[in-house]
Structure 1
């Protein structure tokens, strides 16, 4: 059985994701699919609009055979660590033949060459990168410019590392090279809607950003998304709304976040992951003059500390993730376990194969103390459920009582 791996957030799952899934299976000539999916908090440092369980159900309804949660320290990290965590899980399962990702480029050759050259950061590249950082460039921009400059000296031109899907794809390839993985990389060109595109220019394809905007502007009515999402996604969003679980945004965490910001001194804030270069003072001052999370972000951001980077800092504060804790996780070694969120009958077969061929523990139910990183996942879920405690029975115990979702319904179609 040939299997393709996908790395996703599905926030929410839409027709563009459906197209990517279908083309990925076709391109890889795969019989089965595995998705590594972010949990309740995402790579841009924001909460998912619906829970990981609702999004797992979306994935299974699409046809994904096995859904695995990306642990929160990777899911909410920069592109390099996000990619490394997800790729390491797929690699260590021992059953994935290919990894397929979307990109603006659609051309994987230059990415593979670039990743091989930069996987271990040659000194000449590192020197150029340092120059960019020293003049105050944000890390992603400094990295993109240094990569283009260094790779140009190696005969690789037209490097497009200033586009979000290209950046993630390139980091997947870096991780494949660093792990010496045997999985084959594949890419599919992203079409019709850009990653950050908030406007809709196609009758059936829209970005997740645009769909989240519609939900917030249309009174949280899932019906407004009917033309842009598979039927399974629409039904799940409708079910969530009927249960009183409105789309979650940062503003749902305003009270606990501002409580923490007011309670901690700048010196105490400096202990949290990603807080550096004195940004704690700017965040503290912005909090004293803001009434919403978005206002705080707008007042605190700088050229170096972008909106997304600040969101990740605030999320680390909300979840209590310190620099010391992150250091203890040794994230560059990859993910230490695979938490199973859902599977189909084919997915059950993949799990059995992975138990024989894989090199990573598989967790189908959880308890405290199984792994310090898993303890953080459990805590993060409880904090997310603060926003939905009135619609769930004992929401803070949910993680201990949840078992993987099992799905046997045939793939939905539009």
Structure 2
């Protein structure tokens, strides 16, 4: 039995994701495909476009066998924390053979070489990194610059072991999915995991592209582009247009949510976040593990100029604090999330599975080093105190998401503990 794991947000699930699952099945030879998926809040610092159970169902209809939810602390962490949590979840199952992830370069070997430098942190690299940080660079920019300089020097030496040019390295480090792929490789190395990485070359539009008119049948949209299209059109996208972007089996559920208005953008946080910020003080803001002292000072200094989530994130942005980090921090404040992202996810919560995957679930229960939760109400009896805190905070975040969604649509509120698994 071969098992391939994928770490994803499916925000939303689109044809590129369907292609990745098909690739894992047909090219990598997967008998089963397990997804570690973000819940109702995502890594860029925003509510998910659509609720997690629907996204899980869309992925199952798109060919996945099992969908597991990453805790909200992991789902809203930095790229490093997101990757470390997702990899630890898949590793803890004890059955995953390969991790398949999309990247702009599709070069697994080079991504692993870069990851090894970041894990080992040779002296020359650390020296370059510290020099960059002292100039006021943000950590991501400082790290990227230090890596490029370090690998350029190695590439021009007689002991070059990388086999690629510094220009190629620079191109790799400028692309978001390559960067996330490096974080996956780092996490695998640090865990000494048996899981092998496999970088799949992305096809189609760039990460932020919103013009899908020129996409061929062999190319795929970006989730970011679909979200932007939804926001600009206020959800009035034609089904004919969406049929080019969303897999046919998954499209009916997506269209039904559109019809009901059951989708969210970051603007839904405009008012509740303002209320939450007005309650905060320097002392309480220091309780959030991801907030730097510099960001805390900027929040307190600027909150009287607050107009909305996106506007405030732009206002807080500086050269050394990235916008994505700010958005994650603002979401963590809204969620009152004061627990740091776990490096090791201590449970596997099932959101949905295919009926024919029963043998796979039995194999996981036999091999897993972490408990498998198929019924939310059982968590308190299964999990230890630390794991239960992660679980309860994730449920609380989903209840807040449900509150926002119900306020927008007028649909009845359903508590997280009452929501059933999606079984296809």
The alignment's TM-score, normalised by the length of structure 2, stands at 0.89
Task: Provide the rounded CA distance (Å) in 2 between the counterparts of 1:403 and 1:235.
Answer: 19
For this pair of structures, how many residues does the alignment match? 398
Counterparts of 1:169-248 in structure 2, within 5 Å, are: 169-200=181-212, 201-203=214-216, 205-222=220-237, 223=239, 224-245=241-262, 247-248=263-264
2:413 is equivalent to residue 394 of structure 1? yes
Task: Provide the rounded CA distance (Å) in 2 between the counterparts of 1:286 and 1:250.
Answer: 19
Consecutive unaligned residues of structure 2, counting only runs of 5 or more, are 155-159
Task: Provide the rounded CA distance (Å) in 2 between the counterparts of 1:42 and 1:92.
Answer: 22
The residue number in structure 2 matching 1:321 is 337
Spell out, residue by residue over 1:167-186, the C-alpha distance to the aligned partner (whole angstroms, 9 max, x if none): 11111111111111111211
Consecutive unaligned residues of structure 1, counting only runs of 5 or more, are 408-414
Task: Provide the rounded CA distance (Å) in 2 between the counterparts of 1:193 and 1:127.
Answer: 37
The residue number in structure 1 matching 2:359 is 349
Alignment partner of 1:302 out of 287, 312, 318: 318
Counterparts of 1:78-89 in structure 2, within 5 Å, are: 78-89=78-89
2:402 is equivalent to residue 385 of structure 1? yes
Q: Secondary structure at the match of 1:22?
A: helix
- Return closer, same or farther for 1:392/1:126 CA change in 2, 3 Å cut-off: farther
- Return closer, same or farther for 1:199/1:305 CA change in 2, 3 Å cut-off: farther
Structure 1 residue 356: Cα displacement: 0.6
Contact 1:129 1:146 in 2 (8 A): yes
Spell out, residue by residue over 1:377-405, the C-alpha distance to the aligned partner (whole angstroms, 9 max, x if none): 0111011112123544333x2x2112321
Counterparts of 1:2-401 in structure 2, within 5 Å, are: 2-154=2-154, 155=160, 156=162, 157=166, 158-159=168-169, 160-200=172-212, 201-203=214-216, 205-222=220-237, 223=239, 224-245=241-262, 247-322=263-338, 325-326=339-340, 331-332=342-343, 334-367=344-377, 369=380, 370=383, 371-390=388-407, 391-395=410-414, 397=415, 399-401=416-418
The alignment's TM-score, normalised by the length of structure 1, stands at 0.91
Task: Provide the rounded CA distance (Å) in 2 between the counterparts of 1:114 and 1:137.
Answer: 20
Task: Provide the rounded CA distance (Å) in 2 between the counterparts of 1:216 and 1:340.
Answer: 30
Q: Secondary structure at the match of 1:220?
A: coil
Structure 1 residue 267: Cα displacement: 3.7
Over aligned residues, Cα RMSD in angstroms?
A: 1.9
Structure 1 residue 352: Cα displacement: 0.7
Task: Provide the rounded CA distance (Å) in 1 between the counterparts of 2:265 and 2:80.
Answer: 25
2:405 is equivalent to residue 405 of structure 1? no
Spell out, residue by residue over 1:227-248, the C-alpha distance to the aligned partner (whole angstroms, 9 max, x if none): 1111233211222133441x21
Structure 1 residue 286: Cα displacement: 3.1
Task: Provide the rounded CA distance (Å) in 2 between the counterparts of 1:168 and 1:357.
Answer: 28
Runs of 4+ residues over 6 Å off in structure 1: none
